[in-house]
Amino acid sequence: MVSANANFLQSWAWGEFQKSLNRSIYRLGVFRDKKLVGISLINEERAKLASFLYCPGGPVFTTWSKEILGFWLSHVAKIAKEIDSAFLRIDPRIITDSNQALLKRFSFVSAPEYTQPQCTATIDLTKSKEELRHNLRDSTRYNINAGERRGVKVREGEQEEIEIFLDLLKETAGRKALTLPKETNYHRKQFDTLVKEGLMRLFIAETTSQPLSAALVVGYGGTAYYLHAANSMQQKDLRASYPLVWHTILEAKKMGNKKFDFWGIAPSDNPKHSWAGVTSFKLSFGAGRMCFTPPLDLAYKKSYQLSRIIEIWRKPARRILRFGR
């Protein structure tokens, strides 16, 4: 069951990836008259102060109703009691006003921060290649053409070439003072698991002498997600990231995807925002900004309030090179 509002965070493959990190996961399906009307992948998130249940990109229901939501929540509550979770966090991303009202009736409150990116940039891939090129900023179109003229080639990498991406990622994180995930081999495990399930592809932009930029792209439910990217400062004048992104956009269209999702930009064009540079870069490909409602929390224990206060306190200081928990 793949709903228009579902993303790869609710896929079977993402659950397998979470298991590879030694996380406990729970898969729940809701049936009505033997027909599947809801799915959810739930992770157990362990924290020093209070562990909680997290439903990334979900739950996903064909129709939201008091009956279906209440039935689902009753089963989640049993899991929470068994493992002593302090609260449940859901993150359906797109929530209508009526669904917001329904969730408030069940005592959900807005989470203190976004777990996934607050906003993203998307491109409509149903447009022709000529329309997509026309929508590029002039400078972006120039950088793509210049990179190609000067010998930048983009290709799909083999599974064993994930090390190229990991090396570039380490360089990028060091240069921008970003913190990589604490889990050992986080990105390698993610790549190996999602490649096995046919969801992830590696793209590499290079010259004859060296790789300059690389990206991991997920395809799910008609959308291609530009999930992770990294680049080198070597031969930076070639601006290899531009041909890389353009190639992945065209490949995503060729594979039949309807949308290209850059997976994370700043909520505004504020030049002082820490993501200002990457936001301008992504929007330059003709993408439109799309922002989401915050996740919602349902408390099970009094310790939730203390967890909430600490999460608010930590928010301004945290810069993590990681999405898709």
Over residues 23-43, the mean pLDDT reads: 95
Angle (nearest 5°) at CA 81 between 75 and 84: 135
Residues 6+ apart with CB under 8 A from 48: none
List pLDDT tens digits, range 288-324.
999 999 999 999 998 888 778 777 776 544 444 444 4
Q: pTM for the full model?
A: 0.92
**Alpha-carbon distances, residue 2 vs 7, 36, 60, 167, 221 (angstroms):** 8, 11, 9, 34, 6
What are 8's two structure tokens?
């790869």
Over residues 23-39, the mean pLDDT reads: 95
Residues 132, 258 contacting (CB under 8 angstroms): no
The confidence score (pLDDT) of residue 314 equals: 65
Asked if the model's pLDDT at residue 4 lies above 70, the reply is no
The confidence score (pLDDT) of residue 182 equals: 81
List pLDDT tens digits, range 123-181.
999 999 999 999 999 999 999 999 999 999 999 999 999 999 999 999 988 887 777 88
**In angstroms, how far is CA 36 from the centroid of its own chain?**
25
List pLDDT tens digits, range 58-68.
999 999 999 99
Angle (nearest 5°) at CA 217 between 216 and 223: 165
Asked if the model's pLDDT at residue 37 lies above 90, the reply is yes
Domains, the chain, with CATH or none:
8-115+294-317 (3.40.630.30), 119-289 (3.40.630.30)
- HSE-CB at 294 with a 13 A cutoff on CA atoms is 9
E-strand ranges in the chain read: 25-32, 35-45, 52-56, 60-61, 87-91, 109-110, 119-124, 153-156, 200-206, 211-220, 223-231, 259-261, 288-291, 296-299
The confidence score (pLDDT) of residue 325 equals: 45
What secondary structure letter does DSSP report for 2? -
DSSP 39-90: EEEEEEEP-SS--EEEEET--EESS--HHHHHHHHHHHHHHHHHHT-SEEEE
Instruction: Report the mean per-residue pLDDT for the chain.
Output: 91
Buried b (16+ CB within 10 A) or exposed e, 182-214: eeeebbebbbebbbeeebbbbbbbbbeeebbbb
Distance CA 294, CA 100 (A): 11
Residues 204, 214 contacting (CB under 8 angstroms): yes
